[in-house]
Amino acid sequence: MNKIINIGIPSKGRLKKNILEIFKNKKLKLISLRGTRDLFASIKKLPKVKIIYLHAREIIERLADGSLDIGFSGYDLLKESQINIQKKISVLKKYNFGQATLVVAIPDEWIDVQTIADLEEIAFEFKDKKNKMLRVATKYPNLTGEFLFSKGVTQFKLVNSLGATETYPFTGSSEIITDITSSGETLKANNLRVLKDGEILKSQACMMISRSSAKKKELKKLTKLLSKNYTLLK
């Protein structure tokens, strides 16, 4: 039985910085042999714990297949994953950072569209008058599709976004978007507006574990320490 505890930490960005601050706050000193670009690290005085720096989305996949025991990632990425993946992961702690909301956003110039119901009408107009589907650019196809169908919007086509989703309506790649936003300022700066009832999901940074690892004795001690009374100083 593998007694090594593998921990996945995001490899870049503010999320990585905040997670590392948690370890520092708990007096857990991370050691990287090759410096800041090293993809692996260890924890001083905890030889059976290995740190692996990964993309936040990959952390979810690795937790599901059991190659990670503990992982730090966004709640949005967990909920975007397939149901069979979600069933293999438990959320142990939601932190007070990484807060963001997945929303439906439309061009400002669509002044007659204020709600999802209005969007449904537009979608049918596209189908009937232009003989094409309303295109929705997103990095969250599962959450977006599920949300729109649940609201009665059925005439649409999802367009996978590879980055800078807010530009898609203005480059002819889509009509509207769904995107994750913390303040809404980027959307406003790009002449986009969130629908009044266009909130899909609230997200934040989480500590998660692979359910296949739940019985590991050392894991329980470590997750308890990382969960205890932590507030990020802003």
pLDDT in tens, 45-66: 999 999 999 999 999 999 999 9
Q: Are 13 and 213 in contact (CB under 8 A)?
A: no
Stretch 188-211: mean pLDDT = 96
Stretch 188-207: mean pLDDT = 96
Q: Are 203 and 75 in contact (CB under 8 A)?
A: yes
Q: Are residues 109 and 183 in the same domain?
A: yes
Q: Are residues 156 and 86 in the same domain?
A: no
Find how far residue 1's CA is from the centre of its chain.
Answer: 32
How many CB atoms lie under 10 A from the CB of residue 85?
15
- The domain tally of the chain equals 2
Q: Are residues 60 and 22 in the same domain?
A: yes
Which residues touch 2 (CB under 8 Å, ≥6 apart)? none
C-alpha closest to that of 38 among 57, 16, 14, 62? 16
Question: Tell me, what CATH number does 150's domain have?
Answer: 3.40.190.10
Q: At 106, is the pLDDT very low, low, confident or very high (cuts 50, 70, 90)?
A: very high
Please report the pLDDT score of residue 86 as a whole number. Answer: 97
Asked, for residue 234, whether it belongs to a domain, the answer is: no
Please report the pLDDT score of residue 36 as a whole number. Answer: 67
Asked, for residue 195, whether it belongs to a domain, the answer is: yes
Work out the percent of the chain whose per-residue pLDDT is above 90: 82
Q: Are 197 and 101 in contact (CB under 8 A)?
A: no
- Range(s) of the domain holding residue 37: 5-98+205-227
Please report the pLDDT score of residue 233 as a whole number. Answer: 41
Asked, for residue 110, whether it belongs to a domain, the answer is: yes
Q: Are residues 40 and 134 in the same domain?
A: no
Please report the pLDDT score of residue 218 as a whole number. Answer: 84
Asked, for residue 232, whether it belongs to a domain, the answer is: no
Residue 43 reports pLDDT greater than 90: yes
Residue 161 reports pLDDT greater than 50: yes
How many CB atoms lie under 10 A from the CB of residue 168?
22
Q: At 140, is the pLDDT very low, low, confident or very high (cuts 50, 70, 90)?
A: very high
Strands 205-210 and 89-94: antiparallel
Q: Are residues 84 and 115 in the same domain?
A: no
Please report the pLDDT score of residue 92 as a whole number. Answer: 94
Q: Are 230 and 22 in contact (CB under 8 A)?
A: yes
Please report the pLDDT score of residue 72 as a whole number. Answer: 98
Asked, for residue 28, whether it belongs to a domain, the answer is: yes
Q: Are residues 141 and 219 in the same domain?
A: no
Asked, for residue 233, whether it belongs to a domain, the answer is: no
Q: At 130, is the pLDDT very low, low, confident or very high (cuts 50, 70, 90)?
A: confident
Q: Are residues 111 and 172 in the same domain?
A: yes
C-alpha closest to that of 54 among 46, 43, 62? 62
C-alpha closest to that of 225 among 212, 207, 203? 207
Q: CA-CA distance, 163 to 172, in Å (whole number)?
A: 15
Q: Are residues 69 and 162 in the same domain?
A: no
pLDDT in tens, 27-41: 999 998 776 678 999
Helix (H) or strand (E) holding 70: strand 70-74
Q: Are 42 and 85 in contact (CB under 8 A)?
A: no
Q: Where are the alpha helices (DSSP H) in the chain?
A: 13-25, 56-65, 75-80, 83-86, 116-129, 141-150, 185-189, 217-227
Asked, for residue 77, whether it belongs to a domain, the answer is: yes
